[in-house]
Amino acid sequence: MWRGWFVVVLLFAGCGTTRMTDTKRAGNEMLLVSQAVDHAVGQIDFSALAGKTVFLDDKFVKGGPDEAYLISSLRQSLLIHGALLKEKLTDAAFVVEARSGGVGTDRHSLLIGTPAITLPSITAIPITSIPEIALMKKTDQRGVAKVAVFAYHRQTGQILWASGIVEAGSDLKDMWVFGAGPFSRGSIRQETELAGEPLPKLPTSIFTGTPPPPETATIPPVTPVAETHEPGR
């Protein structure tokens, strides 16, 4: 008998490991920045360049980690508005020059409770620390994008069009209550999430105080039975 149990244990025994890695930049940070860029570029009206051959000068945009996304967004918007985009400067009649005044994120935090504290040791006991005790903790992140674009004639240098300063933003708000969380919401979230999962939606009657409507049972229609008459009656 014990041999049978030993075989079962061997069949189900074992261990496995999964290698997990993280990128250098957090996904939320990249989503905040890219959404701010989308909103900023989406406000620029390139219709004045429709039907004109243009060359996008992006040398004043380069230098940031999100330059490729911003440049590609500008190129796409130019094409959507009817501009004829050229890869060589000499093939274009107009030069479209873009510059970025800021593409990045900001973060603000609020803690109601006790922050983590490291206590120096004055004895032979090693240095100890007190962990963070948060009754409520809130973190707000904001993505920002500031873009300006103008166009001028390549040969004469005469300006044709300017977008002006365009600014846009995105946001993400995380909150922990008595250690539970994060409750996450913001422009990069489709709905409020709890620890990465959609938060279950509660009935509106809980907040309004009105009872839910009573359920009505569906009664199937009754088919009348035809009366039968026996002969001679």
- What pLDDT, on a 0 to 100 scale, did the predictor assign at position 222? 64
- What pLDDT, on a 0 to 100 scale, did the predictor assign at position 215? 60
What pTM does this model have? 0.72
Residue 27 host element (H or E)? helix 27-42
Which parts of the chain sit beneath pLDDT 70?
1-16, 121-127, 201-233
Closest CA to 174 of 136, 145, 144, 202: 136
- What pLDDT, on a 0 to 100 scale, did the predictor assign at position 207? 43
Q: Give the pairing type, strands 53-60 and 84-85.
A: parallel
Strand ranges inside 41-93, DSSP E? 53-60, 84-85
Distance CA 66, CA 63 (A): 9
